[in-house]
Amino acid sequence: MKKKIKGHVIEIYCADCRKLLYRYFKAGSGYLVKCYKDRILRNYTNGDLKCHKCGKQFAREVMIHGKLIHKIIQGKVFVKK
């Protein structure tokens, strides 16, 4: 049986051109450091971790706890609830 995770939906935007990148289910409070792929509700990018408008890279793909995640590059995105 899976644990029920408390959280909320946030929108992640490119810091340079202000284009919407993700709708994401954020568990817990705190800063956005990493995005688990299974919690991305809607991906507006081309899947290459670059903004689809300005082309700047906003995250890197890394392995944490046996899962591939998107590690956010500090200062490249901002979040709205």
What would the pLDDT profile of 18-38 be if each residue is shown by its tens digit?
Answer: 999 999 999 988 899 999 999
Helix (H, G, I), strand (E, B) or coil at 39: helix
How is the chain split into domains, by residue range?
A: 7-76
Whether 33 contacts 27, CB under 8 Å: no
Report pTM. 0.88
pLDDT for res 1: 65
Tokens representing residue 7 in the block:
């959280």
